[in-house]
């Protein structure tokens, strides 16, 4: 009772009104904008000058449905401004990148830099929330270690929590609000205060726990999907060897009431699935054999797709392939860790001429072509990302420009019968 009263008093004392969000990318920018339109004073911080300028001008440097409107509202209201470094606030949210290094361990340099940059600004009663995906133990270890340099007593004077983000690109604004939130504190009071913050923007359930459970829960979610996709990819390969269509096999197996196999595809890309499972392997290498094997299967899928494409082109001299979609999935502009890059390079190494088309991606390692140039003289369309625009093309008109009419649709995205009727040999995984 006494403790409850004390906590109640602490709650009454603590009413966050100003939030500093570090990292204005796919996660941080929508979070900053939602907080601002929910009534918080928000200072967005990014080390990239162009990002800061764009945000202050109400421009969205990334493609995300509805974000521009919300951002412009937030900036116009005066509740959101961006700058190059942090300043005093009630809450600091860290949403900076956590990629993997060559040796498949987490690169936590940005988390370290962001944490160090806020140390001079934190004061008694502040809350620091790490939203970036990190290996287990990072919040209690690296982050708490840096924040203790402030001289404040962690968990008593400065509260620290890990609240992993689990939004799906393309649906970020909806999911930021509707998803359940896992809130892991370095102690119970830290979790309670973080829960109080997220309750003001989230409609989903708030699930308080410890920092390490929150870190693991996030990693396990993504590893689970990665393992599921690896299984689907393996089924596609086995089915192919047996002369069957893997997607048909999976569709029929899924008619079992307790079976839910995921979709096979050209490989796994993006910022999360190809990266996060390695953080589990890093934490317990001897115990994560399934996670590790799944990663290896999914990483080898682009080479398998390239090999299968070349098999379809057997006998054609100087084959030309038109790749449709280099984003890591449909209807997003994100080409980070995209399997398309590997497919493209593997095809080139096997002697094919390749040109790629994408209506969303603006930054890619190779020059992108327009659709006419890409399909003219091509022997095969290789669809890797299901962008909605591809469905609007008339198969007959496309076929007329091509040398041979082969469609390898790795996503089973295009209407198969229409393309067949236009004289295409349609191949799927
Ligand atoms: N993209 C997603 O859909 C998604 C989903 C869930 C979780 N996550 C995780 O969220 C974190 C952020 O991912 P993202 O996709 O938003 O990354 P991002 O690359 O889109 O954005 C990160 C931003 O942080 C900035 N930055 C780097 N160091 C900084 C520093 N010291 N101070 C201030 N800004 C700094 C970068 O310039 C960049 O603009 C990662 O850990 C990621 O794994 C991402």
Q: Block means of pLDDT (10 residues each) for the chain, length 429 residues? A: 41 76 96 95 98 95 88 95 98 97 96 98 98 98 98 98 91 91 97 95 95 98 98 97 95 98 96 95 97 98 97 97 97 93 97 97 94 98 98 97 98 97 95
Which residue segments constitute the domains of the chain, with CATH numbers given?
2-214 (3.40.50.720), 266-428 (3.40.50.720)
SS3 label, residue 302: helix
Closest CA to 330 of 368, 287, 294, 359: 359
User: Among residues 280, 296, 276, which one has the least CA distance to residue 288?
Assistant: 280
Q: What are phi and psi of 195, to 5 degrees?
A: -60, -40
Q: Is 272 a catalytic residue?
A: yes
Ligand 1, pocket-test mutation among 20, 21, 22, 23, most atoms within 8 A of CB: 23
The pLDDT score that the predictor gives to residue 170 is 83
226 in ligand 1 pocket by Cβ < 6 Å?
Answer: no
Structure tokens at 52: 């800061």
For residue 135 and ligand 1, the question of a CB distance below 6 A is answered with no
In eight-state DSSP terms, residue 167 is P
pTM score over 0.85:
yes
In angstroms, the Cα distances linking 117 to 47, 121, 197 are 11, 8, 22
Q: By the 8 A CB rule, do 225 and 298 touch?
A: no
Burial (CB count within 10 angstroms: exposed 0-12, middle 13-18, buried 19+), residue 345? middle
Instruction: Report the pLDDT value the prediction gives residue 13, as an integer from 0 to 100.
Output: 53
The answer to whether 33 and 56 have CB atoms below 8 angstroms apart is no
Cα angle 16, 19, 22 (rounded to 5 degrees) comes to 150
Task: Calculate how far, in angstroms, residue 95's C-alpha sits from the geometric centre of ligand 1.
Answer: 5
113 lines ligand 1 (CB under 6 A): yes
Annotation says 18 is catalytic: no
Closest residue by Cα to atom 7, ligand 1, is 165
Distances, alpha carbon 374 to alpha carbons 314, 343, 358, 359, in Å: 20, 16, 11, 13
Instruction: Report the distance separating Cα 248 and Cα 134, nearest Å.
Output: 37
Ligand 1 center to 22 CA (angstroms): 9
Does the C-beta of 97 come closer than 6 Å to ligand 1? Answer: yes
pLDDT value, residue 37:
94
Q: Could you tell me if the CB of 60 is within 6 A of ligand 1?
A: no
């Amino acid at each position: 009772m006494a403790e409850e009263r004390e906590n109640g008093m602490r709650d009454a004392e603590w009413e966050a009104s100003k939030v500093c969000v570090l990292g204005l990318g796919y996660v941080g920018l929508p979070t900053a904008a939602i907080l601002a339109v929910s009534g918080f004073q928000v200072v967005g911080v990014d080390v990239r000058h162009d990002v800061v300028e764009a945000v202050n001008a109400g421009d969205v440097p990334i493609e995300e449905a509805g974000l521009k409107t919300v951002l412009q509202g937030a900036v116009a209201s005066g509740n959101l401004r961006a700058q190059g470094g942090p300043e005093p606030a009630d809450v600091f949210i860290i949403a900076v990148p956590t990629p993997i290094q060559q040796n498949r361990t987490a690169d936590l340099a940005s988390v370290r830099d962001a944490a160090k940059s806020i140390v001079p600004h934190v004061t008694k009663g502040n809350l620091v929330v790490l939203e970036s995906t990190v290996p287990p133990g990072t919040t209690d270890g690296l982050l708490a270690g840096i924040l203790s340099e402030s001289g404040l007593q962690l968990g008593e004077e400065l509260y620290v929590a890990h609240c992993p983000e689990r939004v799906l690109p393309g649906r970020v604004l909806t999911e930021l609000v509707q998803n359940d939130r896992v809130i892991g504190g370095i102690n119970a009071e830290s979790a309670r205060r973080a829960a109080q913050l997220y309750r003001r923007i989230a409609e989903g359930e708030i699930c308080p726990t410890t920092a390490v459970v929150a870190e693991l829960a996030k990693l396990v979610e993504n590893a689970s999907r990665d393992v599921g996709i690896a299984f689907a990819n393996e089924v596609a390969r086995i089915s192919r060897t047996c002369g069957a269509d893997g997607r048909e096999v999976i569709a029929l197996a899924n008619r079992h009431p307790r079976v839910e196999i995921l979709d096979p595809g050209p490989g796994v890309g993006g910022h999360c699935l190809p990266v996060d499972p390695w953080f589990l392997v890093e934490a317990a290498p001897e115990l994560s054999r399934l996670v590790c094997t799944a990663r290896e299967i999914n990483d080898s899928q682009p080479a398998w797709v390239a090999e299968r494409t070349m098999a379809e082109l057997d006998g054609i001299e100087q084959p030309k392939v038109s790749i449709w979609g280099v984003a890591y999935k449909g209807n997003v502009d994100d080409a980070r860790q995209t399997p398309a890059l590997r497919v493209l390079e593997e095809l080139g190494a096997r002697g094919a001429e390749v040109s790629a088309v994408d209506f969303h991606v603006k930054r890619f390692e190779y020059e992108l072509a327009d659709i006419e140039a890409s399909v003219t003289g091509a022997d095969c369309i290789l669809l890797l990302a299901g962008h909605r625009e591809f469905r609007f093309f008339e198969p007959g008109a496309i076929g007329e420009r091509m040398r041979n009419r082969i469609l390898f649709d790795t996503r089973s995205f295009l209407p198969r019968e229409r393309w067949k009727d236009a004289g295409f040999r349609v191949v799927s995984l």
